[in-house]
A and B are shown apart, each in its own frame.
Chain A
Amino acid sequence: MGNVDYKELKKGGFMRQIQKGYFSMRLKSVGGHLTAQQLKTIQEVAEKYGHGYIHLTSRQGVEIPFINIDNVDQVKQELAQGGVQVGVCGPRVRTITACQGNKICPSGLIDTVDVAAQLEKRYGGRELPHKFKFGVTGCCNNCLKAEENDLGIKGGVRPAWNDKVCTFCGLCQIICPGKAIEVNKKDKNLTFDMEKCIYCGKCLKVCPTSAWSGDPGFIVSFGGLYGNRITVGKRLLPLIFSTDILYKIIDATLTFFEENARKGERFANTLDRVGWHLLEKELKEVL
């Protein structure tokens, strides 16, 4: 092969190895899901063109190391026939990660798989000033580490209490991580401090009489980084209850990043430089 366009290769998920002429080939996954058919295809390609193994990435992806530059087109073709697409690298929206969410996990409050699929459909691979990572986690147990991402989405719930059915057993007070609930068993009284509530929904899940109820929503965090610099994504907005608003918020966020970031600047660094309040102001206009 003559002139190699490394930038183009990287865009298509080819990570240059230290071994000359070899690439670790990143495959596309959304929310960490791969079908059995895709796995079969990946196995065949890894055996035929790689070294018979795959690497699981830190972002729920699969890479096939030791793909020779001369086989790139053929490998892509064989993968495509088996329903496997190559992933993305470089300055764009990266692999969308997600936990299994409320369709599988008893703790889940939101359908993370659906949100991840929507994110991929709307923003997957979009070119930006630097890499941009999304992560979606179903509840405040935060298995997917939402705040590590440039934009993190976490399931939450705003609880409301119904005194008519409460038996004042005190379970909610015991399990509340924010210490927002106080139950007085003797006087049959309960106080709830919304300011301390972290929207985890544990009170709803544990309550024996369903005295706690509430609609699930999205807790969104901005500007997380977990590379050379480490920052925890910040929450700038109240709980968001509609997917329409959620995607409008994300549209506005990506536009803000495009308009304000220097080339090669991660989102958190842009926000630190230009001021977080500017993003906050724009997002509040969307609400």
Chain B
Amino acid sequence: MSIKADDFVDITDVVCPVTFVKAKMSIEDLEDGQILGIKMNEGEPILNVPRSFKDEGHKVIEVNDNEDGTFTIFVEKGGL
């Protein structure tokens, strides 16, 4: 995809609720308007992590199915 992330985090090695904690720690290092790429597993993480970002005011701008049971999403910090 064409989106260029300012930082990238892989959370496929952890399970809920640590998934969001890890993702949240990464986005906290960014400035508003910067973009974080996050690779996560299907199931629980893809259901909960994007929703939690929304609740915290960050905007999911792109979702890519890696077709290996993982997804990569791009989130704009403070985009909502």
Q: Which of B51-80 contact A (CB under 8 A)?
A: 51, 53-55, 59-63, 65, 71, 73, 80
A208 contact from B46, B47, B50, Cβ within 8 A: B50
Do A169 and B63 touch across chains, with their CB atoms under 8 A apart? Answer: yes
**At the interface, yes or no: A227 with Cβ under 8 Å from chain B?**
no
Q: Does A39 contact B (CB under 8 A)?
A: no
Q: Determine if A175 and B46 form an interchain contact, defined as CB atoms under 8 angstroms apart.
A: yes
Please give the number of chain B residues whose Cβ is less than 8 angstroms from any Cβ of chain A in the complex. Answer: 17
Q: B46 near A174 (CB under 8 angstroms)? A: yes
CA distance A202 to B44 in the complex (A): 12
Chain A residue nearest in CB terms to B76: A208
CB nearest to A207 among chain B residues: B54
Nearest Cβ distance between residue B12 and chain A, in whole angstroms?
15
With both beta carbons as reference points, the residue of chain A lying nearest to B62 in the complex is identified as: A169
Contact of B61 among A169, A175, A202, A205 (CB under 8 A): A169
Residues from 18 to 47 in B contacting A, C-beta threshold 8 Å? 42, 46-47
Provide a sorted-by-A list of 15 A–B residue pairs whose CB atoms are within 8 angstroms.
A167-B61, A170-B63, A170-B65, A171-B60, A171-B73, A175-B46, A205-B51, A205-B54, A206-B50, A206-B51, A206-B54, A208-B50, A208-B53, A208-B59, A208-B60
